[in-house]
């Protein structure tokens, strides 16, 4: 492995960051990380309201290094920031796959963020059901009830999806580090320009 540098803007209003990947080391805004100390990783990819949030989290004991990109989801894979972030994540994935093939890689949010997503889902479901019950009990007209039903059912559906995907009692999906490079490539397939 030769030393490589990767520079990108992680978000539209953020300054450009530069990471330098050397054999066994990652230098970046977080300082220096010895990759041999990574005990687990997580790959997160969300699209919310047209914004893509993609992150590779590297855990070493109590320390977490987040390598994230928050940009417009419609940006092409050839966008310089998106391409540089992808290249960095791919290079890290390759390093982890070669040096720690059994390293567990969680898919999706972990820890407190997973609990927060679950809580948002539960709140959405309870709020939507509460509004529908209150509307039914208050005796509002059928027209007004019908107008309120669709948005509340959509909110309830969102709640169910968030609860289903982030239920803390369910085992989080993981894969070995050997599959991480292919997973990252699948998120940004090459274009045939």
Mention every residue, 6+ apart, whose C-beta is less than 8 A from residue 148: 131, 132, 135, 140
Helices (H) and strands (E) in the chain, counts: 4, 9
pLDDT at 113 over 70: no
pLDDT the model gives residue 156: 87
pLDDT the model gives residue 129: 84
Q: From 1.20.120, 2.40.70, 2.30.29, 1.10.3470, which CATH number describes the 4-109+172-187 domain?
A: 2.30.29
Decide which of 50 and 96 is more confident: 96
Looking at the chain, the whole-number percentage of residues with pLDDT higher than 70 is 94
Strand-pair partners of 6: 19
Cut 0.95: pTM above it: no
pLDDT at 89 over 90: yes
Lowest-pLDDT range of 37-46, 118-127, 156-165: 156-165
- Per-residue pLDDT tens over the stretch 11-57: 999 999 999 999 999 999 999 999 999 999 999 887 877 888 899 99
Q: How many CB atoms lie within 10 A of CB 165?
A: 15
Contact (Cβ atoms closer than 8 angstroms) between residue 70 and residue 6: no
């Amino acid at each position: 492995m030769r030393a490589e540098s990767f520079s990108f803007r992680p978000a539209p209003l953020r300054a450009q960051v530069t990471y330098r990947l050397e054999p066994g080391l990652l230098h970046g805004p977080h300082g220096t990380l010895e990759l041999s100390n990574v005990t687990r990783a997580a790959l997160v990819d969300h699209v919310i309201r047209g914004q893509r949030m993609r992150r590779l989290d590297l855990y070493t004991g109590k320390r977490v290094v987040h390598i994230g990109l928050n940009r417009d989801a419609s940006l092409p894979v050839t966008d310089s920031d998106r391409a540089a972030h992808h290249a960095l994540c791919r290079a890290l994935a390759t390093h982890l796959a070669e040096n720690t093939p059994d390293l567990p890689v969680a898919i999706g949010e972990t820890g407190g963020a997973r609990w927060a997503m679950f809580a948002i889902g539960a709140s959405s479901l309870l709020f939507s059901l509460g509004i529908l019950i209150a509307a039914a009990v208050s005796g509002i007209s059928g027209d007004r009830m019908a107008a309120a039903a669709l948005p509340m059912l959509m909110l309830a559906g969102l709640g169910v999806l968030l609860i289903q995907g982030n239920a803390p009692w369910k085992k989080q999906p993981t894969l070995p580090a050997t599959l991480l490079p292919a997973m990252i490539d699948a998120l940004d397939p090459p274009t045939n320009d």
